[in-house]
Chains A and B, each alone.
Chain A
Amino acid sequence: MAANSARHKTSTDIHDFLTGLARGLAGALLFALPMLMTMEMWSLGFYMERVRLLLLLIINIPLLVFLSHRIGFEHTNCWSSTIRDALVAFGMGIAASAALLLVLGVITTDMPPRQWVGMVAIQAVPASIGALLARSQLGMGADHEDEDEEKDADETDHSSEGSSYVVELSMMAVGALFLSLNLAPTEEMILLAYKMTPWHTLALIAISIGMMHGFVYALSFRGGHRLESGVPGWHAFIRFTLPGYLVALAISLFTLWTFERLDDTGVTQIVLIVIVLGLPAAIGAAAARLIL
């Protein structure tokens, strides 16, 4: 009897684990498809400087650990399982992008390793973020809700004054990075910056900041933030929206540099290109505050 129930428990554990894996793969594809089907991403895979690719891959690891700690495949309490989940997500990202690039005929068997390894590595970054997010967004079973709440409550208890602020900024960085990875490799970003005058750019800055603030505070989306009564609106604007926009600009600068879009470009042009990519990055940052 006891053995029987133990076996039953193991089989549901395996079932849960496999479901988690399948969700992760689904998420990897859902989030990485736009990039898997972008021509620039294929060529970047083999021509981008290896140091920058390595840096992107290394930065992805703490980012996944952070995400995994927030949402996770399973409700993780200890760091070892958080890190394990992050690495599993990275692995699934690699597997999913390699499989799809093969199916699409982008990777062929006569390619030298340098070429296809680079292609898979660069796609694995957004795919692994997708794999982790899938757990939180695609798997909202009713049986998990209590646990979720409990975990949230725990977190509120644990989080000290400063840490929730850092978490908020980190989530914005994840959102900004995700949308930047989608758009930074495309030629359109630099082309738009070349077409725009500084006046257009000024308008774009205003729109980016306005949308960022509106997304989180004004439009009352589910998961939106409400100001405590008595807190003037400009408090949140200074403390969250403006640092968030700066984070978005920093992330867009980093992705553009990683994809070699800024090499030997004049400073003014760099500022313009970063601000153009800053619009999607800012919206990604704001959306991450609502979703994650």
Chain B
Amino acid sequence: MTSLESKKVARKGKPPNTERLKPHWIEWLTGAVSSLLILAIIGWVSYEAVNGTDTPAELRVDIASIEKTGAGWRVLFDLSNSGEATAAAVEVRGTVTDRGRFVEEAAVIFDYVAARSIAHGALIFTQDPAGRDLNIRAVGFNEP
């Protein structure tokens, strides 16, 4: 019997089975830790399912910075959604007015602002908003 044959016989006699009857203790430890973590995830989602209120998206704009760039004044802002529903196609408009007189308007559309999350964006004005009234707000959204 060649060594190859004997190997084959040995293999047939004892097939490589990862699901052995007597596994290493580390397998049980891994299994136990995984079960706990998955139960924790299920618990979390269940908690959200039972206690989550379905409040619609609540959007707020915070201006982060105003900088002069080649194309004009870039106003970076954070758009935060404190509601429990995600807003889609959120339109944000910014207007610059000078003592009630309309100067300029800019707009941008966000694909999504997830529930309890923040999205970042920018509006670009050709005239310096400093010293004038800059008003940026979300004007509408739909449900995803």
Residues in A lying within 8 Å of B, measured CB to CB: 146, 149-150, 152-157, 159, 161-162, 164-165, 168-169, 187, 190-191, 194-195, 197-199, 201-202, 205, 209, 225-228, 230-231, 235-236, 238-240, 242-243, 245-246, 249, 264-266, 268-269, 271-272, 275
B65 within 8 A of A: no
Q: Is the CB of A165 within 8 A of B34?
A: no
CB nearest neighbor in B for A190: B112
Residues of B within 8 A of A191 (CB): 112, 144
Q: Is the CB of A156 within 8 A of B41?
A: no
Residues of A within 8 A of B112 (CB): 190-191, 194
B114 within 8 A of A: yes
Q: Answer whether A264 and B117 are a contact pair too, CB < 8 Å, given A225-B19, A239-B23.
A: yes
Q: Is the CB of A271 within 8 A of B41?
A: yes
Task: Supply 24 A–B pairs (Cβ within 8 Å), ascending by A.
Answer: A152-B16, A161-B23, A164-B16, A169-B30, A194-B114, A197-B49, A198-B48, A198-B49, A199-B49, A201-B49, A202-B49, A205-B38, A209-B38, A225-B19, A231-B20, A231-B21, A236-B19, A238-B32, A238-B34, A243-B31, A249-B41, A264-B117, A269-B117, A275-B41
CA distance A202 to B41 in the complex (A): 9
Residues in B lying within 8 Å of A, measured CB to CB: 4, 7-8, 10-11, 14, 16-21, 23-24, 26-28, 30-32, 34-35, 37-38, 41-42, 44-46, 48-49, 52, 86, 88, 111-112, 114-120, 144
CB nearest neighbor in A for B119: A264
Q: Is the CB of B52 within 8 A of A150?
A: no
CA distance A249 to B44 in the complex (A): 15
Q: Is the CB of A165 within 8 A of B45?
A: no
Residues of B within 8 A of A245 (CB): 34, 38
Q: Answer whether A194 and B23 are a contact pair too, CB < 8 Å, given A239-B30, A268-B48, A268-B116.
A: no
